[in-house]
Amino acid sequence: MKLTVAGEVKEVQDGITIAELIVQEKVETPEYVTVSVNDEFAKSENFQTQVLQDGDTVEFLYFMGGGQ
């Protein structure tokens, strides 16, 4: 099946979960990543069980604090 991951169309195995995609994409600091699927935030406690669907758009986001 095809997903759009960070703006790039990719072929992935059917039934892939968010957690499996995080590993496959070698996401840096996965414990801090926020994932959006079709412009909706996925709950981190569901990463292991939420199965992605053909045509989904997935973004990996990091929220950083800081400034003066």
CATH of the domain at 15: 3.10.20.30
> Could you give the CA distance from residue 37 to residue 1 in angstroms, rounded to a whole number?
15
Which is nearest to 18 in space by CA: 42, 38, 40? 42
Range of the domain at 31: 2-61
Structural domain includes residue 67: no
Structural domain includes residue 66: no
Structural domain includes residue 68: no
Number of domains in the chain: 1
pLDDT at position 62 is 87
> Could you give the CA distance from residue 27 to residue 47 in angstroms, rounded to a whole number?
13
Q: What is the pLDDT along the chain (68 residues), one digit of tens a residue?
A: 999 999 999 999 999 999 999 999 999 899 999 999 999 999 999 999 999 999 999 999 987 766 66
DSSP state of 35: E
The maximal CA–CA distance of the chain, rounded, in angstroms, is 46
Structural domain includes residue 55: yes
Structural domain includes residue 9: yes
Structural domain includes residue 36: yes
